[in-house]
Structure 1
Amino acid sequence: MSAASSYLNSPPAARIRIVLVGTQHPGNMGSAARAMKTMGLSRLVLVAPEKAPNLESYALAAGADDVLGEAATCQTLAEAVADCRLVLGCTARSRRVALEELLPRDAAARAVGEAAGGAEVALVFGRERTGLSNDELQLCHAAVHIPANPEYSSLNLAAAVQVLSYELRLALLEREAAGDEAAQGGERRDPPASHAQMEGFFAQLAETLDAIDFHKGRAPDSAMRKLRRLYLRAGLDEREVRILRGILADAQRMAMLAGEKRGSA
């Protein structure tokens, strides 16, 4: 079976992963696994945890030993979400990285919609004390904010995972009740572009804009952030990314020829 047909034949819940970044307390990994399993989720990814899962982790998993035991471990967030089409970062509002903000229910609906269309989806949770860094948030397509009591907004990591897992459960049940075919509105002809493919496109886009002197001496960061949001909203598939990268390659080639022509004049 091909990779494309394999992901289309698996249920949406199987394409949704919970990613914990830099977890400091092993017990929180077990509690998060328990929160996931109660809502029918099973894919846990640990990114550079300070300590590996231990006896405390399994004790707090309370029967979700399979979710915790089968958790993948990665060194970086980029590695953990490389094959994802949608990456949602769970964070507080006060950040310098400008991202679309979603409530948990809206985030769950979008995540399940993408997963039902065949895409891999990640919901990312940061460190207990400091959350996700700005560089890590830059890898996310949107931010998820839990509207807790502003006078006491401190939310335990596992509790945050439980809130999002619950909303995902509701969205999955709603889609199941509506019928996959009617809710999905037709299958994609091409697989959605992965996170790694989009990051490769963005890197080539940045190189091309430099090659054609698009920025005219201005700092490129602002323009690239806006372009990232524009292309991420478009929901590109693999074929569309290949077309765009072909256009960029031709633009780079023409810029190089123009530079050689000026140099020989």
Structure 2
Amino acid sequence: MPGKMTTLFPPCPPMSSPTDCLHNIRVVLSHTSHPGNIGSTARAMKTMGLSRLYLVNPKEFPSEVATSLASSANDVLENAVVVDSVEKALAGTTLQVAMTARRRELVQPLHTPRQLVPELLGEAQQGGEIALLFGAETSGLTIDEVQQCNRLVTIPTNPDYSSLNLAQAVQVLTYELRASLLDDVSYLEEKRELADHDYVERFLVHLEETLIRINFLKPHAPKRLMPRLRRLFLRAQLEREEVDILRGVCRAAVEFDRKPLPGEDQRS
């Protein structure tokens, strides 16, 4: 049930994947005024493999607007932890990261996400708990909230227009975390069924016969046409389906009964 008062998630299971350590990282939104930003944050988190959302005194939650903008990241919302203070949201963490765009009177070093991520992941991989703290949409984090954190992070933006939506800021930081662990997108590539050697050889024989039949290749003076075509098709690493298409073209070329085009010399 969303909104129940608690501060602990189940302990992280043993890590078997490079991204398992992301379970040790929680996203904390403080005093969020628009429920849509909560939903969009849940979506941003889930796309990068994070699932632990803490909400400090949200103005409206649960919310149909949040659910709508979560876009199927409902599980993140349903497991969100609602607390009444930043202290409770940060309880048990070893690294607390405040997202801020202004230095104010703070003396801690200010990092970019890319600079800070290696330390955060190293701590998470050792079993440490990390909190990423984001403030209210209009005013950001208060001085008191920032001073409860031991790391500061800011997102480099266009100095002439540095306005980032709350969920966008969450997306940037969580993306840097995931990309540092696993930037392989090969799982999105289509699995190709390459044509084997014999399959390609039969096509090349078929192609040569076709070129002779349509009088494109002169058997008595072949020059280097077929070796060049062989090199072309071998370099292409043809798929079986592509070979089938090309052989279909060869069959059609041989069977084609060519009619003169309008205006073409009928005697040619």
Task: Quote how far apart the aligned CAs of 1:7 are.
Answer: 4.7
Residue 53 (structure 1) aligned to one of 59, 62, 67: 62
Counterpart position of 1:40: 49
**TM-superposition CA deviations, 1:110-152 (whole Å, max 9, x none):** 1111000110001110000000000101110111010111100
Counterpart position of 1:28: 37
Distance 1:101 1:144 in 2: 6
Determine helix, strand or coil for the equivalent of 1:127: coil
Greater radius of gyration (CA): 2
Counterpart position of 1:9: 14
Unaligned runs of 5+ in 1: 1-5, 175-265
Contact 1:8 1:118 in 2 (8 A): no
Distance 1:173 1:100 in 2: 27
Distance 1:58 1:154 in 2: 25
* Structure with more helix by fraction: 1
- Compute the TM-score of the two structures, normalised by the length of structure 2: 0.61
Counterpart position of 1:97: 106
Unaligned runs of 5+ in 2: 1-10, 184-268
Contact 1:8 1:117 in 2 (8 A): no
Counterpart position of 1:229: none
Distance 1:143 1:153 in 2: 17
Counterpart position of 2:191: none
Residue 125 (structure 1) aligned to one of 117, 125, 134: 134
Task: Quote how far apart the aligned CAs of 1:52 are.
Answer: 1.2
Distance 2:109 2:62 in 1: 33
Task: Give the letter aligned to residue 31 of structure 1.
Answer: S
Question: Are positions 1:144 and 2:153 aligned together?
Answer: yes
**Structure 1 vs Structure 2: percent identity of aligned residues?**
49
Runs of 4+ in 1 over 3 A off after TM superposition: none
Determine helix, strand or coil for the equivalent of 2:121: helix
Distance 1:106 1:76 in 2: 29
Instruction: Give the number of equivalent residue pairs.
Output: 169
Counterpart position of 2:172: 163
**TM-superposition CA deviations, 1:190-209 (whole Å, max 9, x none):** xxxxxxxxxxxxxxxxxxxx
Distance 1:98 1:159 in 2: 26
Task: Quote how far apart the aligned CAs of 1:40 are.
Answer: 0.7
**TM-superposition CA deviations, 1:47-69 (whole Å, max 9, x none):** 11111130110000001000111
Distance 2:151 2:110 in 1: 6
Residue 154 (structure 1) aligned to one of 163, 168, 171: 163
Determine helix, strand or coil for the equivalent of 2:182: helix
